[in-house]
Structure 1
Amino acid sequence: MTKLTIGVLGLQGAIEEHVKHIHDLGLQSLIIKKTEQLGEVDGLILPGGESTTMRKLIDRYEFFEPLKEFSNQGKPIFGTCAGMVLLAKEITDSNTIHLNLMDISVKRNAFGRQVDSFVTKLDVKNLKQPFNAIFIRAPYIESASENVEILATYDGKIVAAKQDHILVSSFHPELTDDNRFLEIFVNMVKEQKVDMVR
């Protein structure tokens, strides 16, 4: 198999941190700033940032339909923090729906403001040791359909989940030195690539 290339949507947010994590796993990265670049990557990360600003930039640079098409092709997408908000089918404190790709209802900034940021050890499904999760103005998932696999909860709230080819987290794995959560996504990308070859 040729080396995987993971894209990071490069419009706003924690872009370079994700790129470093990708390189730490020995994979190729591509910062996506033009829609045609989506065809060059095997999986895509929607980084944390500010979801309203990111949506405006998605519209300005005409990414909305290409991102939906990327998902329709079954290519894996990983949304962290604001990226999770963009992927949700419902945002409980807003009438705005963004990409509407995952059967989850999300509450934005649910853990408080920037000053309320915190780090905690999370038990994540299929990870043997707890993951040091960094929450910054983080959303959480208020509800999820039965098709969604819950990977982690904090204080009774869903903070990581997976549905088919889409992975989301409330927290920022890219701000740690721990690559294990990214490896969950990379394994999704590998599986999808193998399926395509078949």
Structure 2
Amino acid sequence: MSVGVLALQGSFNEHVAALRRLGVKGVEIRKPEQLQSVSSLIIPGGESTTMAKLAEYHNLFPALREFVKMGKPVWGTCAGLIFLANKAAGQKTGGQELIGGLNCTVHRNFFGSQIQSFEAELQVPEIVVKEGGPPTFRGVFIRAPAILEVGPEVEVLANIPVPSNKTVDPNHALENQEENTGEKVIVAVKQGNLLATAFHPELTADTRWHSYFLKMMGGEAGVGTSAVGEELGLEERRSTDLPIFQ
């Protein structure tokens, strides 16, 4: 089994490493014709505007849209979530090109700038049912987007509290709101062959999301036990000295 990982920019190496821990080969994708050699694809986190410009330069958008339309499993993390959304708000002037296919509206940098990056324990009941392990998943949010609304066919897999006076509105950023407790915003969804997370599972030792995605492509037989907090070598450890979001 091999999985394509879009390797234009961002955390594609970390996704390849996570797949390797599950005994699966990650194939770096940079050109349209390379998509023909894989049956699923991960679009990693990174700088979404830069990734979009590089994808346009390599004429990847038509091939990526066709890949999605063919019903092949695609998982977008952080910037990858923005790419898969049908509609994106909070973009830079001029916006950016999207792949689309995921019936949702996403807000770019919803949680603020780089210095507002954080970690949070997420309730992930669907992942626990399918993959076992602890009842929560430690999400790493880096200049993270959030999903403001979803269509009826979209399954919500995880959400996170936001301040009660924070209107889930694409014209406002969380950093401009007073701290409080209140409503929740969506940070993980599944729609048919599409999976999307606003956070970075590839930056943790917990590979349950990767295992879950592999099973979307019928890979149960080829996937080993999910690495839930397993002891890794120093070269694969990640220091995540970020504040816990409360």
Report the TM-score when normalising by structure 1.
Answer: 0.92
2-structure distance, mates of 1:149, 1:162: 5
Q: Which moved more, 1:166-175 or 1:89-98?
A: 89-98
1-structure distance, mates of 2:101, 2:47: 18
- One-letter code aligned to 1:120: A
List per-residue Cα deviations over 1:132-191 (Å, max 9, x = no partner). 110000000000000100000001000000001000000000000000011111110117
Structure 2 residue 50 is the aligned partner of structure 1 residue 53: yes
Q: Which moved more, 1:123-132 or 1:159-168?
A: 123-132
Aligned to 2:206, the other structure's residue is in SS state: coil
- Structure 1 residue 125: Cα displacement: 3.0
- One-letter code aligned to 1:150: V
- Structure 1 residue 93: Cα displacement: 2.0
Partner of 1:121: 121
- One-letter code aligned to 1:126: E
Aligned to 1:185, the other structure's residue is in SS state: helix
- TM-align CA RMSD: 1.2
2-structure distance, mates of 1:176, 1:44: 20
Aligned length: 188
Unaligned runs of 5+ in 2: 129-134, 162-183, 220-246
Partner of 1:157: 185
List per-residue Cα deviations over 1:6-49 (Å, max 9, x = no partner). 11001111011000001011111100112111111121000000
Structure 2 residue 148 is the aligned partner of structure 1 residue 142: yes
Aligned to 1:127, the other structure's residue is in SS state: helix
Whether the 8 Å contact between 1:106 and 1:139 is mirrored in structure 2 is yes
Whether the 8 Å contact between 2:10 and 2:44 is mirrored in structure 1 is yes
Unaligned runs of 5+ in 1: 192-198
Q: Which moved more, 1:182-191 or 1:140-149?
A: 182-191
Structure 2 residue 22 is the aligned partner of structure 1 residue 9: no
Structure 2 residue 47 is the aligned partner of structure 1 residue 21: no
1-structure distance, mates of 2:207, 2:148: 26
Report the TM-score when normalising by structure 2.
Answer: 0.74
1:32-51 maps to which residues of 2 (within 5 A)? Answer: 32-51=29-48
Partner of 1:194: none
1:41-190 maps to which residues of 2 (within 5 A)? Answer: 41-94=38-91, 96-128=96-128, 129-155=135-161, 156-190=184-218
1-structure distance, mates of 2:126, 2:217: 17
Structure 1 segments (4+ residues) deviating >3 Å = 94-97
Identical-pair percentage: 43
Whether the 8 Å contact between 1:90 and 1:97 is mirrored in structure 2 is no
Structure with greater strand percent:
1
- One-letter code aligned to 1:177: A
Structure 2 residue 59 is the aligned partner of structure 1 residue 31: no
2-structure distance, mates of 1:10, 1:25: 20
2-structure distance, mates of 1:97, 1:106: 14
2-structure distance, mates of 1:96, 1:52: 6
